Structure 1
Amino acid sequence: MKKIFVAAAFSLLLLASCNKDKEILTTLNDYNIGQQNKGYHFGDKLEIPQDVLDYAEAITISYNDKETSDLSIDPKFFSLGENDVTFNIKTKGGEVLQQDATINVFAKDAPKQMSYEIVNQYPHDTDHFTEGFEAHGDIIYESVGLKGKSKIIKYNLGSKNAILQVPQEDSIFSEGLTVFGDRIYQLTYQSKKGFIYDSNIKLIKEFDYPKEIAEGWGMTNDGKNLIVSDGTKFIYFLNPENPSQIVRTIAVASNTEGYDQINELEYHNGSIYANVWQKPIILQINPANGEVTGIMDFTNIVKQNTTGNDDVLNGIAFKGNNMLVTGKNWSKIYEVILK
């Protein structure tokens, strides 16, 4: 009888412990769901529910193969935007409980709402599925996408006639490009490789993407590094002498929203300009930390040129301090003054 009583008591204790574990995980899960819209800023302390703190002997957080016991929002550990983490809770009974969560980190300052004025319009070839777009004076370099149609074309702004064009293999889906010194760098969509050309668009060599970059999307440069997007929230700075090497990485967010699907890029006067795939906006981004400092709403222009899911805003360049804007299969390039 005594053995049965002890076994029953142990079972009740185990059940109570399991129920408490479940309760703690539910509390932490509910808490993190509730926190997702609030978000944090760098330097903030994570607000862990008190009953979780009372139940835990130690708490660590795992994220991207890193683990920390520091419950503050440290930029060495977190990035702007969504951070999918795992809470590891060591209970006072010696168990380790785990709970997945999403922690949002936002910029502290609200971005400027930037207006514009259209000052000129130029023809654009509607056969061009624009992926990369860059201006040097009145010369346009454009990377045209789609398998079987991919090419690099060089032409005068205002003309649809090519000065130079180089078609690419049918297996290639061309993406972003940038002119860096006397070389032209170009990305491909899912081939995990890029191309380097001379100023006459003659191929010099290929390069492989760093493993962190799954796909090639947008590309620009700041005079020191290549700057690349891959359709996520991240923007990568690459060594132009060795484009397979990542120099540093930033993630993009405003004070209320994290952005992913960062696409076509342009660097101008100390800022990165980026469009967000299938959205009628262009973001002005601080290249030091990824904070969105300005937002331009091009809805009126987009409505005039977009009829489906493919012919979207996807071309940013600068002619002096004026921005040039176009999109996939658009009939026009717009020159605008930013205000």
Structure 2
Amino acid sequence: AFTQGLLFHQGYLYESTGRYGNSTLREVELSTGAITRSVALNESLFGEGLALVDSTLIQLTWKNNTALVWNLSDFTLLGNLSYDGEGWGLCNDGEHLIMSNGTDVLTVRNPDNFSIIREIQVINGGSPQSLLNELECDEEYIWANIWGNESFIRINSTTGYVDQVIDAGSLLEDESVSGTGVLNGIAITDSGEFLLTGKNWPKVFKVNLLPTPGSSPDNGSSDTSSDSNNSSGQAGQSSGTEGETSIINKIISLVLMLVVGTMIITATVLMIRLNRQGQTHKGTRSPMRGGEEDER
């Protein structure tokens, strides 16, 4: 499916899919990958980001300035909410809705009437981070896909600064699937595991994230057996060779510390087939946005 929004709730994935004439809202059982419920959007609508608010699902549309409000229990359409500009990503931080529109600015919105409460400019490495796409929120952070990129980022919801960048480009390396687009789906389970997928991906990947060595300013890594930590402990030795090695290690450690928050994805624990269509030969993933009117 052309995934545009993803969230996890009580053992199920709720997914918004895009493209004119093919946009849907659907419920997928996580343990089996079976689609248990699905409803098609009007052909004039292009489905986008998705968020859960109490017992309703709020689904953005791309260029229609309309968010659809669905009953969670039976997928009946309850109404709609209006907004200006394009709709890309949406998540619920527990109090407010956070919305992206492809720029570097996120809007914090009232979940009842969708009015804007404030704006958050997202800064990555000193520069505005544009093309913010599908979103997921936890209690402290906003996680965002970047359109056209195999990485996703963690954003401090108070300051707007990006403090972690996660490269997910290796997830489909061993898959023989053509027609797949880039990463575009983040959901977080109750136990804190990440569920990642992309446009027309045949699987959802369940992953854990661990900081790389050097990403923590305190000790450089959660793995205290790393080479940089062990060697830096020799800094006080007076031997010329060992002293030079210690200096080099200090420089390496400093460089690693500057790579703030870079993370690696470890162990794809679960790969869920979601009845997505894919060919059996290797294909090149594309952003699948722009260019053609029906492929954002």
Taking structure 2 as the reference length, what is the TM-score of the superposition? 0.67
Counterpart among 183, 196, 199 of residue 69 in structure 2: 196
Q: Is the 8 A contact 1:233 1:258 kept in 2?
A: yes
* 1:224 alignment counterpart: 95
> Once superposed, which parts of structure 1, at least 4 consecutive aligned residues long, lie more than 4 Å away?
302-310
* 2:168 alignment counterpart: 298
Shift of 1:306: 9.6
Shift of 1:300: 1.1
* 1:147 alignment counterpart: 20
Alpha-carbon separation, structure 2, partners of 1:327 and 1:305: 13
Alpha-carbon separation, structure 1, partners of 2:108 and 2:17: 23
| Counterpart amino acid of residue 230 in structure 1 | N
* 2:46 alignment counterpart: 173
Percent identity, aligned pairs only?
33
Aligned counterparts, 1:1-339, within 5 A: 128-199=1-72, 200-209=74-83, 211=84, 214-243=85-114, 245-304=115-174, 311-319=181-189, 320-339=191-210
Alpha-carbon separation, structure 1, partners of 2:35 and 2:128: 39
Alpha-carbon separation, structure 1, partners of 2:174 and 2:111: 38
Alpha-carbon separation, structure 1, partners of 2:193 and 2:102: 26
| Counterpart amino acid of residue 187 in structure 1 | L
Distance 1:258 1:276, change over 3 A: same
Alpha-carbon separation, structure 2, partners of 1:177 and 1:288: 22
Alpha-carbon separation, structure 2, partners of 1:224 and 1:160: 30
Q: Is the 8 A contact 1:305 1:311 kept in 2?
A: no
Any stretches of 5+ residues in structure 1 without a counterpart?
Answer: 1-127
Taking structure 1 as the reference length, what is the TM-score of the superposition? 0.59
Any stretches of 5+ residues in structure 2 without a counterpart?
Answer: 211-296
Alpha-carbon separation, structure 2, partners of 1:314 and 1:336: 15
Deviations 1:104-161 (A, max 9, x none): xxxxxxxxxxxxxxxxxxxxxxxx1000100114210000111111110011114342
Deviations 1:256-276 (A, max 9, x none): 432100001000131100010
Q: Secondary structure at the match of 2:88?
A: coil
Q: Is the 8 A contact 1:143 1:152 kept in 2?
A: yes
| Counterpart amino acid of residue 86 in structure 2 | E
Distance 1:236 1:179, change over 3 A: same
* 2:244 alignment counterpart: none
Superposed CA RMSD in Å reads 1.8
Alpha-carbon separation, structure 2, partners of 1:332 and 1:139: 15
* 2:269 alignment counterpart: none
Considering fraction of residues, name the structure with more strand: 1
